[in-house]
Structure 1
């Protein structure tokens, strides 16, 4: 049987199929963000957007349990020193508002009395702030709920989790796309030889199915395996993700610190929901104690009537809460100076064991991974059928 030059298209088409199916696999992980089609069965939504809440929880659990251990971070936290060194501005602003409230109700409070009360009010507020931050430090894992903050950030920006994984794993996703062509070309050589020896109508569809399946499966496999460097003669093989642990650690820490656990999200999480209730409970208790001391202090007890002291006790927590969440306020300053998200994540992630490190990105591939592989196989089958029609 004479050699048919046209059969050289078999490995070339195989390379094209391998490349195209792997590119499509990556696209299907992230896009579309919203379900496209007729829900729930006829259509598609990117695997990561469809599972963003679950993946966000997993990522948050990994961060809180292995990378950002708040309890350890606040061991030995000196609230008094922190108030004196970092919170002079917020304490002074609250003090001015307290004095303004007293002046508005107390007719006898003139400049001399105000000057005498100013250091007293400041000292009392420093004591209150110290008590608040001491209790916050003791209950830090309740007040800074990492899982809730990540979930909230994901709900407000549905593409955020996907963007996070895409940017961290960009080299791995690039490898998936390119490797499809390399593996496809390699896997296409054997079908070409068999076709030359004995052309059969079923050969290329079966080969296309296997190429589409194998290129997707192998590319996903090589990202994570082998975990540890494996020497094969002069060649050292290691899963791409593990090989880049230091680079991934830097990218992950930077992205999480800048896009997810940045100061606005942290303060929002600390002052809302169950965490906010816990925080405000601490604040209300401290303020109630402050007002009780004012009522008993000879310098202040006669300034207001009992009804006016009751009104101030109601209004003061509102004033403090407004200052609490304001940019440059107590909680912003507290979060900025005590929780180094980037430094903690980066340092701990570099030191993670292989299994824990792999767990950061692996769920992206594992969730519905079989669908991506099957799609590749079906597209390969279709390409094989077309090749057969052209060659026979």
Structure 2
């Protein structure tokens, strides 16, 4: 015992470095683990085995699907998003750009299908014809919007919209997890240092007493593995507050429910379920062919109403096939121009849909197990690999410690 104390007195500064290095191992392995979860966005290295891509970006489709399942199945429905929009108010908001769009369509259709007749028509008559179509356009657009609302599930795929956005923009996908779990990731880093220091104190005593070289890498391995494992447990467990040794503890992520809900809802409402994205999804998304069919039908009804008795003459003038082409062309031009036209309703639509407040309220009502799924998938996917990496790094640093200690104490 005396020899051990004498040895410690002689090399105490060196030995005290052991828990400091252990704390550093705990911290660095956590920082590395978090980085490996999210970066790089694309594979770096030599495929297929020598390199790395962040766990979340690598599994972007799966991660986006999981995040979207919670969003669309438990928090928000397509009908709820669209039902809050008033068709008449939408039409009123786009009155000026809609008139410009109609004028462009009339001009293009007329010059394409009856160029000589249109150019020979006096300017005042052309303006009057454009004005008549412009006057009817709001009613037709309102009818189209009402039909879209009544059949929203067949023309608007919210899940596909969300998943497509997140897979296309991996940085945005990362932000969902990073911003929702910002405090948790901070805790992981800090706890790695704190737990590592505590384990390092035990490691120091073991080294001073036994001087066994294998102890250092084993303790390093244990520090890297245990601190990862314990940090994850403390983030997500227990789901409800419990007392341990006189102290109350609840998984950090669950404890921060209100704060997380606000951050998550803010990001979703500003970056993903936005009026612009909803409009794009309806008019240019995978179900847009059904909207095109609806618009084509409305154009046909409008042309029939406009031409009525004179329809045979119109068909004769342009030709039967070209008349069908004309209807299709008008519908396609409307579908092409409407997204830009409807962009003028974004401020109204954002207020009407009220996505942020809706999500915040619904998220706070989720069961603990459901709320956990907002962040847990980022850790669950290849979690073992991240922990193993931390353990191996700790083992390697432990080996370096052995060499350094033997050089400094001999």
- The two structures have a TM-score, normalised by structure 1, of 0.86
Query: Is the deviation greater in 139-148 or in 276-285?
Result: 139-148
Distance 1:108 1:259, change over 3 A: closer
**Unmatched runs of 5 consecutive residues or more in structure 2:** none
SS of residue in 2 equivalent to 1:43: strand
Q: Whole-Å Cα distance in 1 between the matches of residues 194 and 55 of structure 2?
A: 26
Contact 2:180/2:264, CA 8 A, preserved across alignment = yes
CA offsets, 1:13-57, max 9 Å, x none?
211111111111111111222212221112211111111121112
Q: 2:228 aligns with which of 197, 202, 216?
A: 216
Q: Whole-Å Cα distance in 2 between the matches of residues 383 and 116 of structure 1?
A: 82
Match of 1:382 in 2: 396
Match of 2:338 in 1: 324
Query: Is the deviation greater in 237-246 or in 225-234?
Result: 225-234
Counterpart check, 1:391 vs 2:399: no
Q: Whole-Å Cα distance in 1 between the matches of residues 93 and 172 of structure 2?
A: 33
1:327 Cα deviation (Å)? 4.5
Query: Is the deviation greater in 62-71 or in 151-160?
Result: 151-160
Distance 1:7 1:353, change over 3 A: same
Match of 2:42 in 1: 34
CA offsets, 1:143-185, max 9 Å, x none?
3322322333234433221133222222211111111110001
Query: Is the deviation greater in 225-234 or in 39-48?
Result: 225-234
Match of 1:205 in 2: 217
Match of 2:56 in 1: 48
Counterpart check, 1:141 vs 2:153: yes
- The two structures have a TM-score, normalised by structure 2, of 0.83
Distance 1:170 1:336, change over 3 A: closer
Q: Whole-Å Cα distance in 2 between the matches of residues 117 and 375 of structure 1?
A: 69
Contact 2:90/2:345, CA 8 A, preserved across alignment = no
Distance 1:349 1:306, change over 3 A: farther
**Equivalenced residues, count:** 388
1:270 Cα deviation (Å)? 2.2
Counterpart check, 1:271 vs 2:279: no
1:215 Cα deviation (Å)? 0.6
Q: Whole-Å Cα distance in 2 between the matches of residues 139 and 372 of structure 1?
A: 46
CA offsets, 1:252-295, max 9 Å, x none?
12212222333333333222242221221211121112112222
Q: 1:187 aligns with which of 178, 199, 203?
A: 199
Aligned alpha-carbon RMSD (Å): 3.1
Q: Whole-Å Cα distance in 2 between the matches of residues 205 and 320 of structure 1?
A: 69
Q: 1:346 aligns with which of 349, 360, 384?
A: 360
**Unmatched runs of 5 consecutive residues or more in structure 1:** none
Q: Whole-Å Cα distance in 2 between the matches of residues 333 and 323 of structure 1?
A: 19
